[in-house]
């Protein structure tokens, strides 16, 4: 009986709201926009943060990435003709780091050179990455053909090269290119494998942009190309001596990542006269990103809260007017025998129906907006269950909170006076 | 104050004992009921008359459980209801009483059927039974074909018929009629009064407020009020025992 009563009450509320369609619709708009903006903002925020977290995870959450950075004073010095700037991570750093920390599992050095890569008569300048087999463990890629660099290649100082998918495409190499010879800066290398390209985006993370690289054993890179890079710019030679461009360190235990990072930092500080290196810790970035997300959610929540508050006040305003307008109806119902509580329930349900319906429409709008954003701008958006249920729940709660006062007003109506009310 | 209570109390459907109702109007005290003692028998048809301000409306509101006494006692069907709270009074109105008003007081956005069903809604009847009951009652008051009309599409007489049907939905002990013909022309008013006469013949107690002698003539007894007190009582019954005269004498 109670349940059918509730359904009849809801239906009664819907009927009353349908009597004034435009008014009900306008009243709902506040909640529609409130809920719509909450859902949309939450999904855009969620999408952005998931994208950021995904990027960071790709770097390996247990990794520490050290990079060579040209110090600021060298920038000025290098304008002097033929000056050679020497900076960055060294082979000695690599040795020290690898041997000093028990917490470190694997270490991979990276040496970068830009060289012309030629297959038959097709040539492109690609980035050549001199590294060790560990690199492929630390930055996993799918092998499309052949194999990656093996420890034996290092020992033999074999002139072998692994191409990325896109890199291979640039020089018109296909999978059948495995076993063929390419020329890198004039020297012959055997193509031993092709790995999948990782969509670049990682520049900001100071990892080699993994799009169009050629991987060769680091010993070979050092032997063939040396440590000195000459860049010809308008009228000047820029010469730099950089031993290693990056060192990627994997820490075994996530708990130890920050302590190890601090240790490496102080070790580098002791051996480097100037700050010619940078360090990025994906785990720290991850934590930071999560903290940012929390702040973001609080800010969004407040904005949404204000817009929902405004919507709720709008509903309350209209309901108060409606109660005054329907004083007579309330009086009739009371005279017939409706209890105060039943009048409260009637008006409360009307408000909740209004706000919940507004919430549902807002939800539709709020889900559509992220969809359009993704469709037109390619920005990732994620609509989560929380992002749907929370605003819906809040819109219902708004109906109750802002409907209570008008409903109490309705129940306070004195039937004798109300019936005389013309 | 009452020296003796009527010996036939069980036959009284309503009984007021020294009923007082005092309103505060600004600084002035209005004594709408200034100590009224009266009782109406079950199945009687009363007209309460008097000029405006005489207390007849207040009397009606009190008897109809819409208003509470400032002091004194009100027995409804033998039970003292003067101390009941708002919810209990609502309960009484819902199950014992029916109301007919001068201005019909139908809910304009509801159809005739839904208006008639209204008390059943609060009594918790299901939709099918309610619809059946509404149909029966519409037949009784002669509105069988208008169940789906809106009150605004009806004439005054038809609206009052709907109101009567609604007042009868809960099969009340007492039907209160507040100037039931006040907004109707005299011919239509007569028809409405015929309906009330019939109800009374079927055993319903009817208490009607009116200032029109023609209309009051339908009632078996007439109670004239003045300044919050009973002025005089006329009755057409020829019973030997006249309790009302007793109360009148006490004034």
User: The domain spanning residue B171 has which CATH number?
Assistant: 3.40.50.300
B119 touches A at CB < 8 Å: yes
**Whole-number pLDDT of residue B70:** 93
Confidence of residue B127 (pLDDT cuts 50, 70, 90): confident
Q: In a 3-state reduction of DSSP, which class is residue A164?
A: strand
Q: Could you tell me the pTM of the whole model?
A: 0.71
Question: Would residue B27 count as lying in a domain?
Answer: no
Comparing CB atoms, the residue among A1, A337, A416 nearest residue B90 is A337
| Cross-chain residue pair B126–A4, CB shorter than 8 Å | yes
Residue at B60 is within a domain: yes
**Residue A1: helix, strand or coil by DSSP?**
coil
Nearest to B66 among A335, A338, A339 (CB): A335
Q: Find tokens 């690609």 and name the residue.
A: A126
B234 reaches A (C-beta below 8 A):
no
Terminal Cα distance for chain A, rounded: 35
Which residues is B41 bridged to in the sheet? B12
pLDDT band at B237 (very low <50, low <70, confident <90, very high): low
A363 pairs with which residues across the strands?
Answer: none
Long-range contacts of A92-98 (CB under 8 A, 24+ apart): A92/A271, A93/A66, A93/A244, A93/A247, A93/A268, A93/A271, A94/A244, A94/A247, A96/A267, A96/A271, A97/A66, A97/A247, A97/A249, A97/A264, A97/A267
What are the Cα distances from residue A59, in Å, to A142, A185, A204, A251, A396? Answer: 15, 30, 12, 13, 43
Q: Is A185 left (phi over 0), alpha (psi -120 to 50) or beta?
A: left
Nearest to A337 among B93, B103, B126 (CB): B93
Residues 6+ apart with CB under 8 A from B170: A337, B94, B95, B98, B119, B120, B123
Kindly state whether residue B217 falls inside one of the protein's structural domains. Answer: yes
Distance of alpha carbon B159 from alpha carbon A395, whole angstroms: 40
Nearest to A337 among B61, B106, B119 (CB): B119
Q: Which of B61, B91, B105 sits opposite A337 (nearest CB)?
A: B91
Higher pLDDT, B237 or B214: B214
* ipTM summary value: 0.89
Determine contact, residues A214/A127, Cβ cutoff 8 Å: yes
Q: Is residue B12 part of a domain?
A: no
Tell if the CB–CB gap between A337 and B101 is shorter than 8 Å: no
In a domain, B92, yes or no: yes
Q: Which helix (H) or strand (E) holds A365?
A: helix A340-377
Burial class (CB in 10 A: 0-12, 13-18, 19+), A256: middle
DSSP A2-54: HHHHHHHHHHHHHHHHHHTHHHHHHHHHHHHHHHHHHHHHHHHHHHHHHHHHH
- Closest Cα in chain A, distance from residue B94 (Å): 4
CB-CB under 8 Å, A1 with B107:
no
In Å, what is the CA distance from B110 to each residue of A19, B104, B114, B147? 10, 14, 6, 10
Tell me the pairing of strands A63-68 and A246-251.
Answer: antiparallel
Distance CA A254, CA A256 (A): 5
For the purposes of burial, counting CB atoms within 10 Å of the CB of A234, is it exposed (0-12), middle (13-18) or buried (19 or more)?
Answer: exposed
* B31 found inside a domain: no
How far apart, in whole angstroms, are the C-alpha atoms of residue B157 and residue B177? 14
Residue of B nearest to A411 (CA): B86
Q: How near does any CA of chain B get to the CA of A335, in Å?
A: 7
Q: Tell me, what's the pLDDT at A307?
A: 85
User: How far, in Å, CA of A351 to CA of A344, rounded?
Assistant: 11
CA-nearest residue to A329 within chain B is: B107
Q: Is B235 on the interface with A (CB under 8 A)?
A: no
Q: Do B109 and A15 touch (CB under 8 A)?
A: yes
Q: Exposed (0-12), middle (13-18) or buried (19+): which is A296, by Cβ within 10 Å?
A: middle
pLDDT of B77-125, one tens digit each? 999 999 999 999 999 999 999 999 999 999 998 999 999 999 999 998 9
Check B122 against A342: CB less than 8 A apart.
Answer: yes
* CA distance, residue B12 to nearest chain A CA (Å): 23
Proportion of chain B above pLDDT 70, given as a percent: 90
From A345's Cα to the closest Cα of chain B, the distance in A is 12
Supply the range of the domain harboring residue B220: 43-66+83-250
CB spacing of A19 vs B124 below 8 angstroms: no
The answer, for A329 touching chain B at a CB cutoff of 8 Å, is yes
User: Any residues with CB less than 8 A from the CB of B239 and at least 6 apart, and which?
Assistant: none
Residues of A in contact with B107 (CB under 8 A): 329, 332-333
A128 phi and psi, to 5 degrees?
A: -100, 125
Confirm whether B114 is domain-assigned: yes
Residues A336, B126: C-beta atoms closer than 8 Å: no
B:214-233 residues touching chain A, CB 8 A cutoff: none
Shortest Cα distance, chain A CAs vs residue B87, angstroms: 6
pLDDT of B158 over the 90 cut: yes
Averages of pLDDT over each 10 residues, chain A, 422 residues: 71 86 90 87 82 76 86 58 75 88 88 86 85 84 86 89 84 79 88 78 45 85 84 70 89 86 89 86 83 83 83 92 92 94 93 93 90 85 83 89 94 88 60
Task: Give the helix, strand, coil percentages of chain B, each rounded to 5.
Answer: 40, 25, 35
Is A7 touching B (CB cutoff 8 A)?
no
- Of B104, B92, B88, B86, whose CA–CA distance to B141 is shortest? B104
Residue B34 lies in a domain: no
Say how many domains are in chain B.
1
| Contact (CB<8Å) B105/A8 | no
Q: Do B122 and A337 touch (CB under 8 A)?
A: yes
Query: What beta strand segments (E) does B2-44 contain?
Result: 12-25, 28-41
- Nearest Cα neighbor of B54 from B237, B232, B247, B235 is B232
Question: Higher model confidence: residue B242 or residue A419?
Answer: A419
Which helix (H) or strand (E) segment holds residue A62: the answer is none
| Contact map slice: A 399-418 vs B, CB within 8 A | 415-416
Q: Is B88 on the interface with A (CB under 8 A)?
A: no
CA distance B108 to chain A (A): 8
Instruction: List, in sequence order, the alpha helices (H) in chain B.
Output: 56-63, 86-96, 112-123, 127-140, 156-168, 186-201, 213-216, 243-250
Q: Which of A270, A184, A271 minimizes the C-alpha distance to A224?
A: A184
Q: For residues A404 and A353, is the Cβ–Cβ distance under 8 A?
A: no
Whole-angstrom Cα distance, residue A416 to residue B99? 12
How would you label A199-209 residue by residue, b for 16+ Cβ within 10 Å and e otherwise? eeebeebbbbb
**Contact: A336, B66; criterion CB under 8 Å:** no
Largest CA distance in chain B: 55
Dihedral over Cα of A97, A98, A102, A106: its sign: positive
Query: From residue B55, how far is each of B15, B152, B224 by CA, in Å?
Result: 16, 32, 10
3-state SS assignment for residue A228 = strand
Cα-Cα-Cα-Cα dihedral of B23, B26, B30, B32, to 10°?
Answer: -40
| A103 token code pair | 């917490």
Beta strands A277-280 and A246-251 are unpaired
Between positions 16 and 35 of A, the ones with CB within 8 A of B are 16, 19
């Amino acid at each position: 009986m109670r349940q059918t009563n509730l359904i009849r009450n809801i239906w009664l509320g819907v009927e009353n709201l349908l009597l004034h369609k435009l008014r009900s619709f306008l009243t709902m708009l506040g909640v529609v926009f409130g809920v719509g903006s909450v859902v949309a903002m939450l999904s855009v925020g969620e999408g952005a943060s998931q994208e950021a977290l995904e990027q960071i995870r790709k770097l390996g959450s247990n990794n520490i990435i050290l990079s060579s950075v040209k110090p600021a004073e060298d920038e000025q010095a290098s304008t002097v003709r033929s000056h050679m700037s020497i900076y960055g991570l060294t082979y000695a750093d690599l040795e020290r780091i690898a041997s000093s920390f028990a917490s470190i599992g694997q270490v991979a050095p990276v040496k970068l050179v830009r060289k012309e890569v030629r297959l038959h008569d097709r040539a492109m300048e690609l980035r050549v990455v001199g590294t060790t087999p560990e690199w492929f463990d630390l930055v996993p890629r799918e092998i499309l053909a052949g194999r990656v660099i093996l420890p034996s290649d290092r020992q033999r100082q074999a002139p072998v090269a692994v191409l990325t998918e896109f890199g291979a495409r640039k020089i018109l190499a296909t999978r059948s290119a495995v076993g063929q010879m390419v020329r890198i800066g004039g020297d012959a290398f055997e193509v031993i494998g092709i790995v999948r390209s990782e969509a670049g985006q990682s520049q900001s993370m100071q990892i080699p942009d993994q799009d169009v690289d050629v991987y060769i054993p680091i010993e070979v890179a050092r032997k063939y190309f040396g440590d000195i890079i000459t860049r010809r710019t308008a009228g000047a030679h820029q010469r730099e001596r950089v031993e290693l461009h990056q060192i990627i360190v994997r820490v075994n235990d996530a708990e130890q990542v920050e302590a190890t990072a601090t240790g490496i930092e102080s070790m580098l500080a002791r051996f480097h006269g100037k700050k010619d290196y940078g360090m990025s810790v994906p785990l720290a970035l991850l934590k930071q990103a999560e903290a940012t997300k929390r702040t973001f959610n609080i800010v969004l929540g407040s904005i949404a809260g204000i817009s929902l508050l405004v919507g709720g006040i709008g509903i309350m305003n209209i309901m108060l007017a409606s109660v005054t307008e329907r004083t007579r109806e309330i009086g009739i119902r009371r005279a017939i025998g409706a209890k105060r509580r039943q009048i409260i329930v009637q008006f409360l349900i009307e408000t909740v129906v209004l706000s919940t319906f507004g919430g549902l429409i807002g939800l539709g709008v709020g889900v559509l907006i992220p969809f359009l954003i993704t469709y037109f701008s390619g920005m990732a958006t994620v609509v989560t269950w929380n992002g749907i249920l929370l605003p819906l729940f809040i819109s219902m709660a708004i109906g109750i909170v802002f409907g209570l006062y008008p409903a109490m007003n309705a129940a306070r109506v004195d039937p004798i006076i109300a019936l005389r009310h013309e | 104050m009452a020296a003796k209570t009527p010996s036939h109390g069980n036959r009284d459907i309503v009984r007021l004992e020294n009923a007082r109702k005092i309103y505060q109007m600004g600084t002035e005290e209005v004594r709408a009921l200034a100590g009224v003692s009266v009782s109406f028998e079950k199945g009687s048809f009363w007209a309460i008359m008097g000029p405006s301000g005489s207390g007849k409306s207040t009397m009606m509101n009190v008897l109809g459980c819409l208003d509470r006494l400032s002091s004194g006692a009100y027995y409804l069907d033998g039970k003292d209801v003067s101390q009941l709270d708002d919810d209990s009074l609502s309960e009484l109105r819902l199950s014992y009483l029916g109301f007919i008003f001068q201005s019909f007081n139908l809910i304009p956005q509801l159809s005739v059927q839904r208006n008639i069903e209204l008390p059943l809604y609060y009594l918790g009847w299901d939709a099918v039974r309610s619809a059946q009951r509404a149909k029966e009652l519409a037949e009784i008051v002669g509105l069988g074909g208008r169940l789906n009309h809106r009150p605004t599409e009806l004439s005054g007489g038809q609206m009052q018929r709907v109101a009567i049907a609604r007042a009868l939905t809960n099969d009340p002990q007492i039907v209160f009629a507040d100037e039931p013909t006040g907004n109707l022309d005299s011919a239509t008013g007569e028809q409405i009064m015929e309906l009330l006469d019939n109800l009374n013949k079927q055993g319903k107690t009817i208490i009607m407020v009116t200032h029109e002698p023609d209309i009051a003539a339908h009632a078996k007894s007439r109670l004239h009020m003045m300044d919050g007190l009973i002025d005089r009582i006329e009755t057409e019954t020829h019973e030997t025992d006249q309790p009302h005269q007793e109360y009148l004498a006490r004034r």
